[in-house]
Amino acid sequence: MIDIHSAIASLRWDREPQGLYAPIAYTLESGGKRLRPTLALIAASLYGKEENALPAALALEIFHNFTLLHDDVMDQAPIRRGRKTVHVKWDDNTAILSGDQMLIEAYKQLENIDAQHLPHVLHLFSKMATEICEGQQYDMEFEKEEKVTIEEYIEMIRLKTSVLLGAALEIGAYIADAPESDRQALEVFGTNIGLAFQIQDDILDVYGDEATFGKAIGGDILQNKKSLALLMALHHANEDQLFRLQGWLHRTEYLPEEKIKAVTAIYNEIGVRELCQAEMDRYTQIAIEALKQLSVDATPLLQLADKLHQRNN
Amino acid sequence: MIDIHSAIASLRWDREPQGLYAPIAYTLESGGKRLRPTLALIAASLYGKEENALPAALALEIFHNFTLLHDDVMDQAPIRRGRKTVHVKWDDNTAILSGDQMLIEAYKQLENIDAQHLPHVLHLFSKMATEICEGQQYDMEFEKEEKVTIEEYIEMIRLKTSVLLGAALEIGAYIADAPESDRQALEVFGTNIGLAFQIQDDILDVYGDEATFGKAIGGDILQNKKSLALLMALHHANEDQLFRLQGWLHRTEYLPEEKIKAVTAIYNEIGVRELCQAEMDRYTQIAIEALKQLSVDATPLLQLADKLHQRNN
């Protein structure tokens, strides 16, 4: 089994100018689950060709971290994975330019794919990258819009986060010469696991345990973020609940703990946790169903889905 | 002959979300010389395969415009080619994200290259893109540094602007199956023409004609920009000239026209125009020498070099 954490750690960034490369090293060394490259490697390993997927796995992880770096500039987020974000530790220009270089570095990894598989991988990779930019654009637009439907929100998170998981599996399987029907089933699995994963993030932001979640609980509530929790609440609230919820959304003076407590209480009345949980379970189910189409034993992916479903961070 | 202006104009950006794609359309429709794609097409045409180079030509022009878009954010430049820059017309986040998407769109164009040539073109393209990011990083660092040598400046502009011209020619020639020695000679031609071109920009910024140059004369002087003109002046000034020049560099209160006039007068005393012109001619000469190595008739490139050498904008 390839150790993806070591593989990423062994990428070298000690070249000049360090003003460009040090922020890349910093971003990639700050860890995370390495979920996307792991998915690519597992997909390839199902067909006995894990090694072949390593360049794509590295490309996917570098690309994912590029999106986080630029997203953090756009959101002016101060902290990522418990450390200062690049635009805070350095400055906005550094974050923009080092991010650009990370995107190029992701494509550079694809050079290590054999010539036979390269054209289609390049196509899948750029298609995924485009969808992620589109998702980020919708995310920024939605924060300014008065009304966002649940369907629009799901489509946004599909683009912004889920297609990357789907692409990771599809690319890994393609490089390992999986049959086309398997590749499609794996893409469906990845995209739907991704939707479940993102919905779970929204749930954990309200109902998680601060110690294990790794960031403050209630952040979405304080920012009036149009998470699935809020959209579900707005959709299912009765008149009285809607009145109280809107009150908190428009209030400008309050103690943070007070707003989190009050909004969570309204969510509890409405049953937001269960509504979101049901959506999450639904996507997980679609994902697991897709695996039944595979021509190979899907146990490693079922185990991963189970682990993600049980996670609390 | 392919009409590169029409080819770029026929790229479609009328898809959703327009918040992402409209700034790309705006950037690409604002014109410019289309020098980089033209170089790729000319290189390929020397070997009778102009058509084959079109995807790479489009990729190069989209990439070049991506760098302008992000550079304008980093420099907070208000105007580009006589129009508001994207970060002014929209906002910084739009410029960052649409720029990211342009970089991806550049790579997407490479998908249209035949499988046989794709791997090496992808390699050359990413190598060039990396060098340009490195050049931009050095450019930003130099603006904060006390002392920059002429050698450091030349290396910076080689990375920031010249390698793109060299890569355009090398990629065009490679796609057209030019012999390796020709590809190398064309790369040398492009890089050195690029250096001459950039030096000419520095000269025109001081000595150009406002009407034909398309931007205000003396911009570099007002910003104390470490252009070749200033570096040459600092290097060749006598004690008295250096004292007066440093005075203007450190003065904070002045009329713009007054500073431009005074610094230009010092440049004239030192002979900065001739010093820069000599450097420019030297690189032009290296470029033209390289063409003598070619196995094919280089007339179209000699004509282009001549046109660039005579330009006043």
Hey, what are B128's tokens? 């060039």
- How much of chain B exceeds pLDDT 90, in percent? 91
CA distances A73 to A205, B55, B132, B136, B196, Å, are 21, 32, 21, 19, 36
Interface test with B, best of A15, A21, A104 (most B CBs within 10 A): A104
Pick from A146, A185, A151: nearest CA to A166 = A185
ipTM for the assembly: 0.96
Q: Could you tell me if A112 lies within 8 Å of chain B, comparing CB atoms?
A: no
Note whether A133 contacts B97, CB cutoff 8 Å: yes
Question: Which has more confidence, B57 or A308?
Answer: B57
Tell me the β-bridge partners of B80. B83
Kindly tell me the burial class for residue B150, based on how many C-beta atoms sit within 10 Å of its own C-beta (0-12, 13-18, 19 or more). Answer: middle
* B69 pLDDT above the threshold of 70: yes
* B48 pLDDT above the threshold of 80: yes
List, for residues B159-201, the tens digit of each pLDDT value.
Answer: 999 999 999 999 999 999 999 999 999 999 999 999 999 999 9
pLDDT value of position B214: 66
Under-50 pLDDT residues of chain A? none
Pair A206, A218: CB distance under 8 Å: yes
Q: Could you tell me if A18 lies within 8 Å of chain B, comparing CB atoms?
A: no
Chain B positions touching A123 (Cβ under 8 A) are: 111
Neighbouring C-beta atoms of residue B256, cutoff 10 Å: 12
pLDDT value of position A308: 84
pLDDT value of position B41: 98
Phi, psi of B234 (to 5 degrees): -65, -35
User: How close does chain B come to A166, measured CA to CA in Å?
Assistant: 19
pLDDT value of position A313: 62
Phi, psi of B80 (to 5 degrees): -140, 125
Q: How many residues make up chain A in this entry?
A: 313
Indicate the DSSP class of residue B1: -
Nearest CA in chain A to B131: A101
Note whether B123 contacts A141, CB cutoff 8 Å: no
Dist. CA B90–CA B99, nearest whole Å? 13
Dist. CA A61–CA A95, nearest whole Å? 17
Q: Could you tell me if B179 lies within 8 Å of chain A, comparing CB atoms?
A: no
Chain B positions touching A116 (Cβ under 8 A) are: 115
Stretch (H or E) spanning B79: strand B79-80
Dist. CA B286–CA B300, nearest whole Å? 17
Q: Helix-strand-coil percent breakdown of chain A, rounded to 5?
A: 75, 0, 25
Question: Which has more confidence, A236 or B217?
Answer: A236
Q: Could you tell me if B77 lies within 8 Å of chain A, comparing CB atoms?
A: no
Mean pLDDT computed over every residue of chain B? 95
pLDDT value of position B94: 98
User: How close does chain B come to A305, measured CA to CA in Å?
Assistant: 30
Helix ranges restricted to H, chain B: 4-9, 18-29, 35-45, 54-75, 86-89, 92-110, 118-144, 150-157, 163-175, 180-207, 210-213, 219-222, 228-236, 239-250, 256-270, 272-291, 299-310
pTM: 0.96
Note whether B126 contacts A136, CB cutoff 8 Å: no
